[in-house]
Amino acid sequence: MGKAFLSAFFCVFHCVPKVFLLLEVSSANISINGTRGDPLLWSCHYIFSEPFQPEQSLIFWQGYKKMDIVLHIYRKGQQEFHYQSQSFQNRTTVFPDQLPSGNFSLVIEPLMLQDNQIFIEVIFLSENKPTKKLCQTTVYVAAPFQEPKIEMNQKEKTATCSTKGGFPEPVIRWMSGNGGTKVGLSEATMISEEDNGTFSVSSTVIITGLKKVICEIYNPTLNQTLIATEDVPTPKNPVLTAIIIIIISVIFYIVILPGLIIYQYIKQQRRGNKSDREHEFVDPPKDKERQRPGNECDRHQLYEHPLEKGGPVGLNLLP
């Protein structure tokens, strides 16, 4: 019995994926979206008609993208990793304790860009029971784009919208600022693939006659739209600029320049008057200082006058 089951296992492992994947995809096929770097839970549930017998069961999670892929294997009550495809090693997890209740869900972590558009399904075999093909699903992987930026070129009359780091290729749409009217076809749009598998975008549109431009970057897998808005600079009128320069020049030479001259003249006059007043207050004290010795002599003469007349009476009594 064991040899028969093991033989059946190898037959199923090598033959069943090719047989099933060549069959027409069931209408039950669904899609699931995930983001690069995040875990993806692929949910799959099955209702058993009889109790689950792990020792007599084989479950493998297989995929297809240009070639057969084995994501995970459960055989005879335990997980096996020997036949797992290298690109999914250490990236898949199942729930063994929940298999008896029909939970065949699988977690892929981290999700990678190379997983995009992989068709996956669960193959369930039990001894003496028909093979079950469950939960056919197509995986779509996305990466969000950076916020777009718009750069204006006044000389060329163009606006360029650029962004990068996203996946898959985005849908680009230009809008004008008046009521959401669509601007004509982009002058040039370049989408290039980076080394890490993401895309960079550069789109240019003519802005002649527009007041505002809006660039929309739509990621179809994430169903996400990023928007950048920029006002179109008003072109300068050379005639108006020349008139403004002339007016400013006239105002300067007729009003400002004469005003500056008058101000300087008044300032100098005030300095001269201030200097004259300072001389008036400083000179008189010098005259008084020159007269001070004469006053002292007069006072000396007043004190000596009585001596010339013989001095006081008391002094005449001296020998």
| Residue 253 pLDDT | 72
Beta strands in the chain (DSSP E): 30-35, 40-42, 57-64, 68-75, 78-80, 92-93, 106-108, 118-126, 132-142, 149-153, 158-166, 171-176, 188-193, 199-206, 212-219, 224-231
Lowest mean pLDDT among 139-153, 237-251, 277-291, 295-309: 295-309
Residue 223: pLDDT band (50, 70, 90) is: very high
Q: Where are the alpha helices (DSSP H) in the chain?
A: 2-22, 238-251, 257-308, 313-316
Q: Region 14-21: what's the mean pLDDT? A: 39
What would the pLDDT profile of 176-192 be if each residue is shown by its tens digit? 876 666 666 667 899 99
Enter the tokens of residue 192.
Answer: 């290039």
φ/ψ of residue 22, rounded to 5: -85, -15
For residue 15, pLDDT over 90 is answered with: no
- Nearest-angstrom CA–CA distance, 269 and 133: 108
Query: Is pTM beyond 0.75 here?
Result: no
Residue 271: pLDDT band (50, 70, 90) is: confident
Domains of the chain: 2-141 (2.60.40.10), 149-231 (2.60.40.10)
- Nearest-angstrom CA–CA distance, 39 and 117: 16
